[in-house]
Structure 1
Amino acid sequence: MSPAPELAAHEAVTPVTHRPRKTRTWSTYPTWFFVPTIMLYVVFFALPTFSSFYFSLTRWSLFSSTFIGFGNYAQFFHNPQLYTAFTHTLIYAVITSGAKVVLGFLIALLLTSPIIGRGYLRAVVFFPVLLSTIGVGILFKSLLDPFHGIVNFLLGSVGLPQPGWFTDPNLALYSIAGVDIWKGVGIATLIFMAGIVAIPGEYFEAARIDGATSRQMLRHITVPLARGATVTVIILSLIGGLRSFDIIWATTGGGPGFTSDVLASVIYKQYQAGFYGLSTAGNVVLFLLVTAIMVPLSYVLNRNQVDL
């Protein structure tokens, strides 16, 4: 039997009750995991950074400091080698970062393709990254020695010129850049490989079905969708090039003369001479220079990125 009309009407207008929503309570428990990281950041980065800004305005030693205002900056910018070092820094950064981007991308394309010995080649490419920078500098200083180095010995044995890689004023900076590229291209390759592997395979399959060639897929799929990796490599390698010091100091010490001096080596020479406040001011200038270049560049490069 069907229910009475009055009962059916009553059920039709009876509102449906819902369970009350549970209120989500905020807990401080996960926040405590950030405390060690924040403490390390403050102690090893924030405090030294702000201290550098203060000590750059002083004439200081390990036991005393005297506030002198912007005297260190005035003296730093009157350094006769500053313009040359600044030019060398920009040249060195552009050469090393540009080469790492191009070579890293090409090697990553090779090492993500189905070739024999791919795993071994990946290890070989990345191996120089694991080596000490100072050790690499000493090694290449020996290999490229103009009189006793094995490289010039091999060149001379086949009748080729034997250049002074680190002793020729016209070659020293570019020779150091070549060593830097050899050591750092592995990181660039690794980042590009991660970006290429992350591209969905369906894009390439659809392109093959449409009759696209390998060059067309590279231009219209791989390059645009690996833009994030490209931006990362450009930023990291350019920052490293602008701040480079250790490999330059290990190979030439800024020489011959001042032909391979960069800003970091000029700053270190001032520190060696005992001008601690002056060298601190130079570090602040280098920090501001890197920031002034990288912040707008990062903004421009990160615009209109392709999201997968």
Structure 2
Amino acid sequence: MTTTALSAPRERRRDPRRHYPMWFYLPAAAVYGVLFIVPTVASLYFAFTRWNLSGAEFIGFENFALFFREPYLFQGLVNTLIYGALTSGLKVVLGLLLGVFLTSQIIARGYLRSVVFFPVLVSTVGIGVTFAVLMDPSDGLINRALAVIGVDGPGWLTDPNLALVSVALVDVWKGVGLATLIYIAGIVAIPQEYFEAAKVDGASSCQNLRFVILPLLWPATSTVIVLSLIGGLRSFDLIWTMTQGGPGFTSDVVASVIFKQYQAGFWGLSSAGNVVLFLLVSAVMVPLYWLMGRKEVER
């Protein structure tokens, strides 16, 4: 047998490992570079400058020092952590319960899944404007409905103790559909043999949930935690649309503090704030992701 005949099958065996030529990836790489890498590098550079449209002056870490002297930064940082923990926790719990409910044998299951997922498709700004009207303390539909049954509705967005929680609940209502979808996919992927074995052992529905569903849904749970916590820590649009950080500064988060600095014309300062926010999210998520990955391996 000739050398050519021997080499041809070997070349054919190599081909499946190269699905596409490298230049097929260039358009995606170009878009990623222009929309992510270039703005990230530019923001990091401008964080060390005092800049406007006429030019930039390098000032070192002065912007970071000014940012950390922001009087309401600490409150914004605390609000960010509270908001992220509250929204992600509720999405995990409600998403799991809805996922279990919507994979059971119920009437109109497909329709109910669509209803739960629908808010995910709606614009965040549109939802914020809508709920700002609904939660108006005097003319809002929610308080008017409560008045019909004799309940004096609170100032959902005007009470300093309720504003951040009210926005967080709206965020959960909007995002729980995605968490539910992830849990539904995870439950459907569980082999039926586990449920049949549990049935033979006489397991109840609660025992099925505790000993079969919850352990095998850990990959789905970790995905929901990561996605919802990152979204909560970076949240801005819903908070700004509904409260603009008010009343006062009681519902400010780090992202809204940064935006207020940008509005005031401190562009270098706001760029430094973006770097700080990136480091904050990384400091929370990297160890958490490592711990969840380690726990998944142990399982």
Q: Smaller-chain TM-score range?
A: over 0.9
Q: Give the corresponding residue for 2:59.
A: 68
For the residues of structure 1 that align with 2:158 and 2:242, how far apart are their CA atoms? 10
Cα displacement string for residues 181-202 of structure 1 (whole angstroms, at most 9, x for unaligned residues)? 1111101101111111111111
Deviations 1:103-126 (A, max 9, x none): 000000000111001011001001
CA shift, 1:31, in A, is 2.4
Residue 113, structure 1, aligned to residue 104, structure 2: yes
1:307 Cα deviation from its structure 2 partner: 10
1:33 to 2:24 alignment: yes
Q: How big is the shift at 1:20?
A: 4.9
- The answer as to 2:89 corresponding to 1:98 is yes
Encode CA deviations 1:60-97: one digit per residue, 9 max, x unaligned: 11231111100100000001101010000001111000
Moved over 6 A (4+): none
CA shift for structure 1 position 222: 0.7
| Alpha-carbon offset, residue 43 of structure 1 | 1.2
Aligned to 2:40: 49
Q: 2:11 corresponds to which residue?
A: 24
| Alpha-carbon separation, structure 2, partners of 1:23 and 1:146 | 74
Instruction: Please give the secondary structure, in 2, of the residue aligned with 1:238.
Output: helix
1:122 to 113, 130, 138: 113
- 1:94-243 equivalences under 5 Å are 94-243=85-234
When normalised by structure 2's length, the TM-score is: 0.93
**Which amino acid letter does the alignment assign opposite residue 10 of structure 2?**
T
Cα contact 1:224–1:306 (8 A) shared by 2: no
- Quick check: 1:267–1:279 contact (8 Å CA) kept in 2? yes
Q: Which of 74, 77, 80 matches 1:89?
A: 80
Letter of the 2:32 partner, please give it: Y
Residues 1:307 and 1:217: Cα distance change in structure 2 (over 3 Å): farther
2:261 aligned with 1:249, yes or no? no
Cα distance between partner residues in 2 of 1:159 and 1:215: 38
The SS at the match of 1:75 is: helix
Displacement, 1:302?
1.3
The CA deviation string for residues 6-60 of structure 1, in whole angstroms up to 9 with x for no partner, is xxxxxxxxxxxxx957433766753232222211111111111111111100011
Counterparts of 2:290 and 2:119 in 1: how far apart (Å)? Answer: 31
Tell me the equivalent position of 1:265. Answer: 256
Compared CA separation, residues 58 and 306, structure 1 to 2 (3 A): closer
What is the CA distance between 1:227 and its match in structure 2?
0.6
Q: Out of 267, 285, 295, which is 1:294 matched to?
A: 285
| 1:181 counterpart SS class | helix
Q: Distance in 2 between matches of 1:306 and 1:71?
A: 44
Deviation for aligned residue 1:303: 1.5
Identity %: 60
Q: Which amino acid aligns with 1:299?
A: W
Which 10-residue stretch deviates more, 219-228 or 209-218?
Answer: 209-218
Structure 1 unaligned blocks of 5 or more: 1-18
AA aligned to 2:243 is: T
* Larger helix proportion of the pair: 2
Give 1:306 deviation, angstroms: 6.6
Match of 1:274 among 229, 246, 265: 265
8 Å contact kept, 1:225–1:306: no
- Cα 1:220–1:269, aligned 2, differ >3 Å: closer, same or farther? same
Q: Is the 8 A contact 1:227 1:306 kept in 2?
A: no
Shift of 1:211: 1.9
Q: Partner amino acid for 2:294?
A: R
Letter of the 1:127 counterpart: F
Do the aligned partners of 1:59 and 1:66 also contact (CA within 8 Å) in 2?
yes
CA distance in 2, matches of 1:20, 1:277: 63
Q: In the TM superposition, what is the alpha-carbon distance from 1:209 to its structure 2 partner?
A: 1.6
Q: SS at 1:303's partner residue? A: helix
How many equivalent residue pairs?
Answer: 290
